[in-house]
Amino acid sequence: MLLSAVILVLQETLEIVLLISVLMAVSFQVRNEMSWMPVGLVAGCVLSVLLAANTDIISGWFDYVGQEVVNALLQTLIALVIVIFSWSTFTNRQIGQGNTVSRGKRLALLFQLSAVVATALTITREGSEILLYLGGFFQQEDAMRTMVIGSGIGFSIGLSVGVLLFYGLTGLPGRWGLATALILLASFAGNMLSQSVQQLTQADWLPSFQPFWDTSDWMPENSITGQLLYALIGYEATPSVIQVTSYVTGALLVCIVAISARQLGSRPAQLK
């Protein structure tokens, strides 16, 4: 039971802290304020409590597939906000290279808002899962103590990984740090879209397909490594074709938008 609590909380915590760490590292690299972080943290915590408290009501929506639909909506929104954040980041890099002050302020505001929304939605989604898991043990005093200890260990490990990632990214040269952050953001966006498709498939809103590949014998999803890889890169042992397609689409969209923003943002400087 202790190990299960550690793994579950660690998995959910990693999905939160890894994204926040990347957002913080990008803010540091582009010299933007991190005032978005406390706002996103508070909003996410409040929304996660509300979502967990109303799970029974939400589950009854849409012919009792409301939970899957809401999760899919949150994950899709997270992917879209990551795309917007990537665009504002690489356009923001061109501030001072031919951009007007007013445009720079608008880009900085968009950067802050997208970071707030991405943080809040991620905490809402993953935090509610942790609260629901722990809520099942509130009436069991013996089990609750074990759950609290395991959750504390899992949260501490996840937080430590996030801190290491932040300092690892900020320790890289500017260009390499942003390139690495872009790859991670692309992975997060692809993971969110893939999970969204899986949720909608479970709700029978999307057709189910045969697995595109099967690596369950080599690395089962329920293994410790499989669950950690799921949190890190969205690992699935038996993903469907539509899941793979959505993952690649989300990742490519982030990369294409970021590269396009950088090229378009640098034009004024080149023309000048």
For residue 176, is pLDDT > 80?
Answer: yes
pLDDT at position 116 is: 97
Cα dihedral 69, 13, 254, 90, rounded to 10, equals 130
Closest among 41, 31, 43 to 89, alpha carbons compared: 31
Provide the 8-state DSSP code for 66: H
pLDDT at position 196 is: 95
Q: What percent of the chain has pLDDT over 70?
A: 91
**CA–CA gap between residue 28 and residue 30 (Å, rounded):** 6
What b/e sequence results for 103-136 when a residue is b if at least 16 CB atoms lie within 10 Å of its CB, and e otherwise?
Answer: eeeebbebbbbbbbbbbbbbbbbbbbbbbebbee
**183-209 pLDDT per residue, tens:** 999 999 999 999 999 999 999 999 888
Q: Which residues contact 183 (CB under 8 A, 6 or more apart)?
A: none
Of residues 210 and 112, more confidently modeled: 112
Closest among 229, 261, 188 to 20, alpha carbons compared: 188
Going from N- to C-terminal start, the domains of the chain cover 2-271
3-state SS record for 180-228 = HHHHHHHHHHHHHHHHHHHHHHHCCCCCCCCECCCCCCCCCCCCHHHHH
Displacement of CA 137 from its chain's centroid (Å): 27
**130-170 pLDDT per residue, tens:** 998 888 776 676 777 888 888 899 999 999 999 999 999 99
Q: Which structure tokens are listed for 31?
A: 């010299």
Burial class (CB in 10 A: 0-12, 13-18, 19+), 23: buried
pTM score, whole prediction: 0.89
